[in-house]
Amino acid sequence: MQATAALQQMQPSYIREILCAAQAEGVISLAGGLPAGDKFPLELMKASIIALPDRPELFQYGVTAGYEPLLNYFRQYYQLPSHHQPLVCTGSQQGLDLIARAFISPNDKIVMEAPSYLGALQVFGLAQAEIISVSQQADGPNLAELETCFAEQNISLFYAVPDFHNPTGVCWSLAVRKQVAALCVQYNVTLVEDVPYRELRFKGEALPLVSSFCPDNALVLRSFSKIATPGIRLGLVTGNSQWIAPLIKIKQCADLHSSIPMQAVLLDLLTHADFDQHLKQLREVYQQRYQCIAQQLQQKLPAGCHFNAVDGGMFIWLTLPPCDDFALAKAALDNNVAVVPSSVFYQKGMAVTPALRLNFTNADIDELTIAVDRLVEVIKRQLDKNLDLKAVAS
Amino acid sequence: MQATAALQQMQPSYIREILCAAQAEGVISLAGGLPAGDKFPLELMKASIIALPDRPELFQYGVTAGYEPLLNYFRQYYQLPSHHQPLVCTGSQQGLDLIARAFISPNDKIVMEAPSYLGALQVFGLAQAEIISVSQQADGPNLAELETCFAEQNISLFYAVPDFHNPTGVCWSLAVRKQVAALCVQYNVTLVEDVPYRELRFKGEALPLVSSFCPDNALVLRSFSKIATPGIRLGLVTGNSQWIAPLIKIKQCADLHSSIPMQAVLLDLLTHADFDQHLKQLREVYQQRYQCIAQQLQQKLPAGCHFNAVDGGMFIWLTLPPCDDFALAKAALDNNVAVVPSSVFYQKGMAVTPALRLNFTNADIDELTIAVDRLVEVIKRQLDKNLDLKAVAS
């Protein structure tokens, strides 16, 4: 029995592999997209969790779309129109996978910004889509490139992370949001709007969802890994029922339904009187951590390294002078700080901007300070080597 | 955006749809493969569940293969050789889906017994496999048919449920187990041995797994929905690491990993001092329920209806004189008893034995008695109609 061709060409996730290495004692990890483990709202979830053994109905098989009271909450909270539906997924990663399985046949064309979320590259790669990249600017995708793409090619869908993009942290401007939505309507392209970091804004005002300007041309993917906890594996897809129905058929095959006890606990958390306060505190903690790492980097980075300020999310995208980003990440790990090299966020064979993705939400302020010292040490060493090589070459 | 061709040809699960109808007030359901909701081991899970809020590490992202202490337990409990690995899945349904996605390309040939588990028909249908059916006898698959199949065609895998088959309840004999294993080795066919009902034997001695006779030609799928609870969505795949590694790659795309809090609770349950006692009691309850429904059916069924005794599992397979099994199931639902017609367990276009699958584990003894009365009433009415039609025809 042989693995399929689609699977054989797929690389295992470098990030999930580095997560193992990053757990070694003494390593400070800025690698994973991990929320702060010491800030999980377990106190707010406690009463609900403790009550589970008294609710046997939650432990029986359930319906595929999700736990009905939770679905009702989503319908109201997100003010879904009557022809839209919510579908609870085993993490938003599953939502993405279901979309690819339901709608993408081999060689279908999809569009993503480059760089892009590794999990999406993997999912669409496994579906054997032809992935077309558009470049990303400070306020979102390059609209001219996007329109050319939509106009000249038969595009199935556009996958985007408009709020605090993974890996770059970019947040699309209001103008770009409206224009992307208009292009999706004009060229009948489905927008898959992935918003796992949307609630993690710690500066400025929230912008409307891109899909709010093209609700019937979009599916929205939400994650509860960042605002609740990742371990419970719950996410959400919403959109037009004509698209949710095929997703439900695939989910029947994929896992029948997601954990019902966890869905009940999530509902109790989201409706807890103190949940907004939890989110507020979480944003404050992340802002402090961001400010710490940003300040440390600004003070200590050598010339030629750069990052744009972010207003939320979990990541800083640190661009570097020409160098081997993989070798640099490996050297950093040897120096007890884990980071992710930019190459993993691009399709194979694409021109890569040498950069590192730095997560600032999982380590605390003391650790972040040490991590920056360790990282800067390695970067300086690498750049000195580059200078030596240049000297030899000249 | 259009659903893929593979999805368009897939029917939604009749069983999952009937589960909704079966929830209507007054309906007694023998339709779903539901365990007894009033016998869940929640008392044994209670201490573990209540302790969850004090274990924040369980709520962070985890590794894809599963919660390490649970994996270690499985390695020991199932005495896995060092070149085999366990992989925790979001229900054994996910394990099956991962296997199809990892190893089945369109038009690959796989073998199943007919009738067969609907969820497997769906998964392999979605993977666009060519499904070849071999007939089932009282002691397992027809070996002559199976060998012809293996010898003459290029078969990727053989999917089987040797312990208390869904839907027929058949349990393979020891001789058949050994011969199937030998054929798998001889023709290098991978056996996918699905054993969700294995622990539900209430009569006779457990027989060795088929895969115990061909361990390196097999993947074993286990479910914790029947011995723990379905709502937690946990299953297990074990087998040669060369096959588990591709499954892990697909699972990264599918949902990153399964719920860690639920995995921790499952480990505590499986290692609880009273867990064996729980299983013993569960088997006794199921035996009582089986004996009740079997006795009722024997007393009340009209001539021409038949079922074989079972030694465990969850189902009775009630074969009927020639009739429209769908119409009969619909009439039964109108008479407030839900059952599953045999057609759904066969591939489209196959010759179908008119039959009904009756679940005896979810309803209690009083309900089972009433359900049989309602069902027999409908069957008699249908058979009378058949006689009328015959009279008209003759």
**Domain residue spans in chain A?**
5-30+276-393, 58-270
The helix (H) or strand (E) run that includes residue B132 is strand B130-137
* pLDDT category of residue B349 using cuts at 50, 70 and 90: confident
Residue A312 DSSP symbol: B
Q: What angle do CA B350, A249, B333 make, to 5 degrees?
A: 65
- Does domain A58-270 fall into CATH 3.40.640.10? yes
* pLDDT category of residue A352 using cuts at 50, 70 and 90: confident
In this structure, what are the phi and psi dihedrals at residue A109, rounded to the nearest 5 degrees?
-100, 130
Amino acid A1: pLDDT: 83
* pLDDT category of residue A13 using cuts at 50, 70 and 90: low
Q: Do the strands A315-319 and A235-240 form a parallel or antiparallel pair, or are they unpaired?
A: unpaired
CB contact under 8 A, B46 and A61: no
Q: Do domains B5-30+276-393 and B56-270 have the same CATH topology?
A: no
Residues A194-245 pLDDT 10s: 999 999 999 999 999 999 999 999 999 999 999 999 999 999 999 999 999 9
Span of A11-25, A326-340, B52-66 with lowest mean pLDDT: A11-25
- The predicted model gives A73-89 an average pLDDT of 98
> Closest approach of chain A CAs to the CA of B189, in angstroms?
8
Q: Which CATH architecture has domain B5-30+276-393?
A: Alpha-Beta Complex (3.90)
Query: Which positions in chain B touch A254 (Cβ < 8 Å)?
Result: 90, 93-94, 97, 254
CB contact under 8 A, A259 and B16: no
Owner of token pair 């999706």: A184
Residues B293-348 pLDDT 10s: 999 999 999 999 999 999 999 999 999 999 999 899 999 999 999 999 999 999 88
Q: What percent of chain B has pLDDT over 90?
A: 87
CB contact under 8 A, A250 and B126: yes
CB-based burial of residue B394 (10 Å sphere; 0-12 exposed, 13-18 middle, 19+ buried)? exposed
Amino acid at B118: L
pLDDT at A17 over 80: no
Query: Which positions in chain B touch A58 (Cβ < 8 Å)?
Result: 231
Query: Which positions in chain B touch A61 (Cβ < 8 Å)?
Result: 19, 32, 34, 225, 230-231
pLDDT at B354 over 90: yes
ipTM over 0.90: yes
Query: Which positions in chain B touch A123 (Cβ < 8 Å)?
Result: 253
- The predicted model gives B181-197 an average pLDDT of 98
Q: Which CATH architecture has domain B56-270?
A: 3-Layer(aba) Sandwich (3.40)
- A-B interface: how many C-beta pairs under 8 angstroms? 217
Strand, coil or helix: B173: coil
- Residue B163's CB is within 10 A of a number of other CB atoms, namely 26
CB contact under 8 A, A37 and B60: yes
CB contact under 8 A, A56 and B38: yes
d(CA B360, CA B33): 9
pLDDT at B391 over 70: no
Compare CB distances from A230 to B50, B61, B97 and report the shortest one's residue.
B61
> Closest approach of chain A CAs to the CA of B117, in angstroms?
12
Query: Which positions in chain B touch A65 (Cβ < 8 Å)?
Result: none
Rg (CA), chain A: 21
* pLDDT category of residue B1 using cuts at 50, 70 and 90: confident
Testing the interface with B: which of A233, A262, A269, A282 to mutate, by most B Cβ within 10 A? Answer: A233
Amino acid B253: pLDDT: 95
Amino acid B13: pLDDT: 65
CB contact under 8 A, B252 and A13: yes
Amino acid A349: pLDDT: 82
The predicted model scores a pTM of 0.95
> Closest approach of chain A CAs to the CA of B88, in angstroms?
12
